[in-house]
Amino acid sequence: MSAPRAVARLRAMSAVLEFRDVTVRRGQSVLVDGIDWVVEEDERWVVLGPNGAGKTTLMQIASTQMHPSSGTAKILGAQMGRVDVFELRPRIGLTSAALAERIPRAERVRDVVVSASYGVLGRWREEYEDLDHERAQGLLVEIGIAHLGDRTFGTLSEGERKRVQIARALMVDPEVLLLDEPAAGLDLGGREDLVSTLSMLAYDPDSPATVLISHHVEEIPPGFTHVMMLRQGKVVAAGLLEEELNEVNLSATFGMPLSLWHEDGRWAARRRTRRATF
């Protein structure tokens, strides 16, 4: 574990995320409704739910970009509304489609990653330390994209871009890693590569607490420990993956009868038919 995170962990010694009765309203709509959720620092959560369930809304609160309309959200031990979010943000690693859109297409990959240490998108005139460059290079190797360091972001495939974003999110040595649908848009091989990378991170005890948003049980990397299932802004089930991820909860979450398979640490699901075999 690196020194800054070791110190931060000693200092924090509390849940990474602690949501109590978190509700978000916009006009007449309730986006998330009375969410209780605690993420501890050694946990790896997957958040599953259909389109519009409220997953990204929860992620926006967890990344300090949104305040709950009611209830309390503690992030890295600090209560939203009572703390300067600009102090918290460098301690949070985030990937999302919205963030990806803001990465300049002409930016070199190694600069996309290294510039995270200054919390900026798009390298300008900052001077980076050798240590920052070494760390960025180490992450490119770890995430399997060292050969792309000199390419510009705009020339990468979707899967390669996803990996660059994860390397960038890890650059700040975050205490929590939030990944909003990192597998969206990937082909089968790309998805499998990403699942392997996330599995490797999940099993690494030095990795930060992780929350992965997904629509598909096939994208759950081995090593993930917990699941939250959301439907229409409400929690259908939350807890240990092995206990809560079952056909009853998954069918309730997606609103149709589903069969679920679990083999070699991986999950698969499809609509239940009378003779369902996989």
- Which residues in this chain contact Mg ion in the complex, by CB under 5 A? 55-56
Between 225 and 232, name the residue whose CB sits nearer to ligand ATP.
Answer: 232
Q: Which does 29 bind (CB under 5 to 8 A by kind): Mg ion, ligand ATP, none?
A: ligand ATP
- Tell me the closest approach of the beta carbon of residue 152 to Mg ion, in angstroms: 27
Measured between alpha carbons, how far apart are the two ends of the chain, in Å? 41
Q: Give the residue carrying structure tokens 């998805």.
A: 191
CA-CA distance, 54 to 58, in Å (whole number)? Answer: 6
Q: Which does 53 bind (CB under 5 to 8 A by kind): Mg ion, ligand ATP, none?
A: ligand ATP
Rg from Cα positions in the chain: 19
- Tell me the closest approach of the beta carbon of residue 56 to Mg ion, in angstroms: 3
- Tell me the closest approach of the beta carbon of residue 24 to ligand ATP, in angstroms: 8
Give, in order, the Cα–Cα distances in Å from 11 to each of 6, 68, 76, 264. 9, 26, 10, 37
Between 63 and 207, name the residue whose CB sits nearer to ligand ATP.
Answer: 63
CA-CA distance, 116 to 172, in Å (whole number)? Answer: 6
CA angle 61, 66, 71 (to 5 degrees): 65
Q: Which does 31 bind (CB under 5 to 8 A by kind): ligand ATP, Mg ion, none?
A: ligand ATP
- Tell me the closest approach of the beta carbon of residue 56 to ligand ATP, in angstroms: 3
Q: Which residues bind ligand ATP (CB under 6 A)?
A: 26-27, 29, 31, 49, 51-57, 215
* CB-based contacts of 108, cutoff 8 Å, min separation 6: 123, 149, 150, 151, 152, 153
- Tell me the closest approach of the beta carbon of residue 115 to ligand ATP, in angstroms: 27
Between 55 and 231, name the residue whose CB sits nearer to Mg ion.
Answer: 55
